[in-house]
Amino acid sequence: MTKQALPSLVKEYKILLNGRLEDSSDGERFDRKSPAHDVQVGTYPAATPEDMDSAVEAAKAAFDSGVWSEAPGTDRARALRKVAELIERDLEQLALIETLESGKPITQSRSEMEAVAELWWYAATLSQHAEGSVNTDLGSEYLGLSVREPVGVVGMITPWNFPLLIASQKLPFALAVGCTAVLKPSQLTPGTSLHLGELINEAGLPDGVVNVISGQGKIGARLTAHKKVDMVSFTGSTQVGHAVASSALADFKRVSLELGGKNPMVVMADADFEAAADAAVFGFTFNQGECCNSASRLLIHEDIADAFEQRVVELVGQVPVGDPLDPETKIGAIASEEQLARIEEMVQSGIDSGAALRCGGERLSTDVGRFYNTTVFTGVERDAEIAHEEIFGPVLSTIRFKDLDDALKLTNNSQYGLSAGIWTSDLDAGWAFARKAKVGTVWLNCWMDGFPELSFGGRKHSGIGRELGKHAIEEFTELKTVTARFGQREMWVPNS
């Protein structure tokens, strides 16, 4: 495939507010430059706090009207399938927007848009399976029902690294069970979410059921604190997640948080050497390392550590870094100057700690854009900052271990608990690791393989709640108990 050209026109986006595509109420806008090309790629409404209030009011009115919350599951399923069809229709356009705004390779963006459509297709099936339960063993006079009801208005705040994919891990699942929503994407990469708003409008969802509002962080805070928001679903950093949870707790809102990770990939001595080495490189370079599931901690059995580290360094040198519009590129641009500064700070911390810098360690020299050389540290001490803190860049720390128990100790000795993986030909060892690793997801002889049918989420400082899979609808529903008695009631007050 040939390299894709930069678009000649800058797209002007609109927010989706109560079924209308609009500018912000005061007309203010903000721009985004491509982190790979330093050219403007979009202009977006800078919504006001009053716009956010209007979005929440619209979602609340739509929910209370019952037009969506009380609709049959089959009707909601049809609407979600229509959105999925439109996402597939606009796949190339969405992929280009994602690449231009985030800096990720275009081939990856295309794969992500395919995954986005799959999420909407899968969530549509759950519209017809949001079932409660019946208890008939309470005695002959009683019938007990557990009924699932939509939680109400859900405020959704999504990050810049996988903007449409993460929005689609939330929005269609909430819609499937009858919730209404206000979606606030990151100001760095709002384009695909705003385009999704256009598709939702085209699909004919009732006014106010979905509202997509772009702007700075202050309107996100307005959303989480709003009295008429019943639940907040947030994906982002642990630090911001803590603030979101505190804000929601003040009003006893339900909260779902998908936060950071410092995810270990464990390589046992009996692992498939080449497959594990390739996965290790993929694990920390995918999406430029700007991924909560990044395998930024590589734990290697001491018997193979020297050879394995050398192979990883060799493979890293073969991974193409460059223009994300080139289909040959596998590592693109760093999303922002702030993120680049964070990477540089953490790499310096690794150097200062005495770890061996085997490759990378500096910004890639280019005429335009911001790129970082893929970086590998070996000989990392277990208590070093780069062994514990999330970096969000193409930086790998390798640590050696003695046996499976030692690997598990390293895995669990972390404030995070998002994901972990193990490479081994001993399935007994792999299962033991999977059972004892204190994380939400374990990969056995694979890494970052994901499916809409399987739940995703973290433990400890990596978050609260689960997205995806059939359990996702539990996040967006309230369980109500209904107890019915039949026949004559035994009187409490004696008959006088």
**94-133 residue pLDDT tens:** 999 999 999 999 999 999 999 999 999 999 999 998 888 9
With cut-offs at 50, 70 and 90, classify the pLDDT of residue 442: very high
Question: What average pLDDT does this structure show over 395-401?
Answer: 98
> Which phi and psi angles does 399 have, rounded to 5°?
-135, 140
* pLDDT tens, position by position, 300-330: 999 999 999 999 999 999 999 999 999 999 9
* CATH no. of 11-259+462-481: 3.40.605.10
CB 452 within 8 A of CB 122: yes
pLDDT, one tens digit per residue, over 193-209 is: 999 999 999 999 999 99
According to the model, what pLDDT value does residue 5 have?
Answer: 83
Q: Where in the chain is the domain with CATH 3.40.605.10?
A: 11-259+462-481
**Domain 264-444 is in which class?**
alpha beta
Taking 80 as the threshold, does the pLDDT of residue 1 lie above it?
no
Residue intervals in the chain for CATH 3.40.309.10: 264-444
Query: Which residues have a catalytic role annotated?
Result: 258, 292
pLDDT of residue 8: 83
Distance of CA 346 to the CA centre of its chain: 23
pLDDT above 70 for 286:
yes
- What's the chain's average pLDDT? 96
Residue-level pLDDT at 3 = 83
Q: What's the mean pLDDT in 213-231?
A: 94
**pLDDT, mean of residues 347-361:** 98
Position 141 pLDDT exceeds 80:
yes
Q: Is the pLDDT assigned to residue 494 strictly greater than 90? A: no
Region of poorest pLDDT, from 127-131, 348-352, 369-373: 127-131
Report the C-alpha gap between 16 and 88 in whole angstroms: 20
Q: Which whole-number Å values give the CA distances from 216 to 20, 221, 303, 379, 424, in the listed order? A: 21, 9, 50, 41, 46
Residue 249 has what pLDDT?
Answer: 87
Token representation of residue 425: 């030909």
Taking CA atoms, 354 is separated from 161, 205, 299, 399, in Å, by 31, 57, 18, 13
Instruction: Calculate mean pLDDT across residues 184-197.
Output: 98
Percent of the chain with pLDDT over 70: 100
**Crossing angle (nearest 10°) for helices 91-102 and 73-89:** 70
pLDDT at res. 496: 66
Report helix, strand or coil for 396: strand
Specify the pLDDT at position 4: 81
Helices of type H across 317-471: 337-352, 404-412, 427-436
Q: Summarize pLDDT for 5-62 with one digit per residue, the tens.
A: 888 889 999 999 999 999 999 999 999 999 999 999 999 999 999 999 999 999 999 9
